[in-house]
Amino acid sequence: MWLEIFLTSVLGFAIYWFISRDKEETLPLEDGWWGPGTRSAAREDNSIRPFKVETSDEEIHDLHQRIDRFRFTPPLEDSCFHYGFNSNYLKKVVSYWKNEFDWKKQVEILNRYPHFKTKIEGIPPQLPAGRTPKPLLMVHGWPGSFYEFYKIIPLLTDPKNHGLSDEHVFEVICPSIPGYGFSEASSKKGFNSLATARIFYKLMLRLGFQEFYIQGGDWGSLICHCRGGVCWAALGLQGRGCPGALGKRFPGSEGGPSNHVALWPPGLSLSLAPRSLLGSALNDSPVGLAAYILEKFSTWTNTEFRYLEDGGLERKFSLDDLLTNVMLYWTTGTIVSSQRFYKENLGQGWMTQKHERMKVYVPTGFSAFPSELLHAPEKWVRFKYPKLISYSYMVRGGHFAALEEPELLAQDIRKFLSLLERQ
């Protein structure tokens, strides 16, 4: 399990729901080996090494050549985003990507925070006198990256300079899931959310944190769920995300018509199955990769955006931010390995693993964003997380909350911490 983990120092796609026992239990920590070959003492390197994101003229030249070879297919008339990414708008994105997007500048922005690698991740911020940092592990999902947190990091690590109280000052650790971005992918089958949670826990121990807070959305929420069930070192879990197939397993939702609409938004399409088939093509075509990923940043942010010619992308995000996230997949060639996470977590059957059937008794907060893929009513969240101390139905926001609504999410994290510390 001594994978190359990438981090920046400075929270879901699927929460599995089920009928389970009320007995409080945790899974054993266990161990594993996900690197190539067999385990050996020579391969076990516990060092934490500084890392910088880098690029080259050759890398950019190759990208531009591939963009130039893009074969345009006209969209259907008045199709907007109903058939995927509208190719007329894609022309604009591709033109901006080649002629205006400055990847070297974005690399400088990525290096604004210190990065590290280790064989199985943190650096303290400058804190107000008398303040002790609260370690916060924040975990991304697909098709996101650690870059999702760049707008929320300063609100958590330096709140006073952003007009916020310094009651809660965090040390934020944002690891990349193995197989995403600069984190080495597993060389073996079976690397799922539980294995990731175990690696991230050992990562935090290596950084010197015996207790810490955790937050995640999309896959990050499932990883944090597993983390809460691995052991009790987490002080609190603050999550967000969609509840998977809750609508079918729990048809008797309470809360009125708006709850039912939120459970299954009209026109919602997750398009999960084709991902394993598309990886090789996406890894060869930057335009295809951008269209595939950015369509999710449109429809997963707000399903109503599919009625717009531009998918509403620039209503919530800048093209620089969106293309930076795409470039983290393109330059590292990790779209295939990132998609394997779906196979490892969903390919064994529904709720076949013990960690999927467990409740989590770590104190928990939940941020319910109204435009999230699927909605989890408070009653259902409390069933899965009996120690739920905060459930916030946010005024706006969708699936990529940390990038879309960093102020709202930071505010809810701080609210959760305040409630937790009063207990």
Residue 45 in tokens:
């390197």
- Find out whether the peptide bond into 159 is cis, omega within 30 degrees of 0: no
User: How many CB atoms neighbour CB 117 within 10 A?
Assistant: 18
Please give the Cα distance from 399 to 50 (Å, whole number).
31
Catalytically active residues, by annotation: 218, 342, 399
Please give the Cα distance from 199 to 63 (Å, whole number).
33
- Helix, strand, coil percentages for the chain (3-state, nearest 5): 40, 10, 45
Q: Are 138 and 220 in contact (CB under 8 A)?
A: yes
Q: Are 409 and 402 in contact (CB under 8 A)?
A: yes
Packing angle between helix 87-99 and helix 286-299, nearest 10 degrees? 120
Sign of CA dihedral 49, 50, 53, 55: negative
User: Which backbone phi and psi does 235 adopt, to 5 degrees?
Assistant: -75, -30
How many residues are there in the chain? 423
Q: Is residue 285 within a helix (H) or strand (E), and if so which, with residue range?
A: none
User: How many CB atoms neighbour CB 118 within 10 A?
Assistant: 23
Q: Are 214 and 135 in contact (CB under 8 A)?
A: no
Where do the DSSP E strands lie in 59-166?
115-118, 134-139
Residue the block writes with tokens 């693993």: 353
Please give the Cα distance from 243 to 262 (Å, whole number).
11
Q: Are 171 and 159 in contact (CB under 8 A)?
A: no
